[in-house]
Structure 1
């Protein structure tokens, strides 16, 4: 089975990857389409040169890698970004167990802007997530939706519900992990994973966003309808 997490950035997706990595029956992959995304968009991201040197840039070959891991390990957890799925034929994800991870766009934008200034709607992936969700529904699939804040409110309840829907036994090992970098980390970890490397479990959610800098308001207002649509499907704690 391939569990395909379709997330946005700054949304505990790495923590969830670490959670699944604690299972003895799971192999994890960190953002395998990142190199192709950077080539396609021409964007400058921290660590771009190393990403392009170390990650496979051909999406077809990435799908072959995923299939090989599934054959070898049985279960594979892929941490992916919604906006990385563009510019190539990604239709084979319909064969995966697709899980969408969302976060309040105000919280996401505040966190993202600490690493890359002036984030746009395309940077945070909510629009692409909503479009992918609708496409998968049209293909006859009902993907699972997780809200990061709900997961952080009660990790054991949400993870147990998630595992049940995936047909996996829940294990308490998923609730914690060792602090520090991990072998599964992408080479971009030094720029993005500082906070999660200090964690050993899912931390309680932050307070609701009450105010944003003016330069983030337009993107927030663009993103909010997509978040609201997906949140209607999210598992509740």
Structure 2
């Protein structure tokens, strides 16, 4: 599952974990990303210590190491995939892109960490990765977080069908609190999802942005609209 930050990806990890037949992996390239970029994220040193900080050491756990359940949900942030990193391994997994409107992402991220750089939100990288994967085939599934929140059962049923796994209503709810698979950074970022027991209701109107945030959203929107044109149509 490829997404950017503030994009329903952790709730989706909870949803897949609730199936009972799915192991979960939380942002396994985060340490490599922080070490290479030097970005001052919260808990930076602790994150780097918590997982392999070389992407080459991560890939086997995603493609060849045995998994104790029939399905593995890999939660990935597209901005973690730096240009120098080989993505050939993604041919051995099923790729899904989770998208969200840039106005909502920018507002949510800024509330946590202040004004981000456009690259930190991953919209351009997401569209770039989608095109590369679609060119080699098969084209990844794209699903919009707004569709999931509007009707979780219908959207998740459609997603399961698109990726060839059985749908179960167990995906609609989960117990409160952190989970063993959560990254150590969950202490900073996962407060809302840890308080939840299911998906929040439909999102309201787009937030009204001004100044730098509005300019940021305008920069991001073309890449969002390009990948959104390929999104799963929820019937």
Partner Cα distance (1:145, 1:90) in 2: 18
- Aligned-residue CA RMSD in angstroms? 1.3
In structure 2, distance between residues paired with 1:95 and 1:58: 20
1:19 aligns with 2:15: yes
The aligned counterpart of 2:33 is 37
Counterpart CA distance in 2 for 1:74 and 1:204 is 30
Counterpart for residue 188 of structure 1: 185
1:156 equivalent to 2:157? Answer no
Q: How many residues were matched structurally?
A: 233
Q: Is the 8 A contact 2:63 2:93 kept in 1?
A: no
8 Å CA contact 1:27–1:69 kept in 2: the answer is no
TM-score, normalization: structure 1? 0.94
- Alignment counterpart, residue 75 of structure 2, candidates 79, 85, 93: 79
Name the SS for the 2:143 alignment partner: strand
TM-score by length of 2: 0.95
2:63, 2:92 within 8 Å by CA — same for their partners in 1?
no
Displaced runs of 4 or more, over 4 A: 68-71
- Give the whole-Å Cα distance in 2 for the aligned partners of 1:23 and 1:233: 27
Unaligned 5+ runs, structure 2: none
Distance in 1 between residues matched to 2:204 and 2:123, nearest whole Å: 21
**Cα pair 2:173 2:199 within 8 Å, conserved:** yes
8 Å CA contact retained: 1:102, 1:227: yes
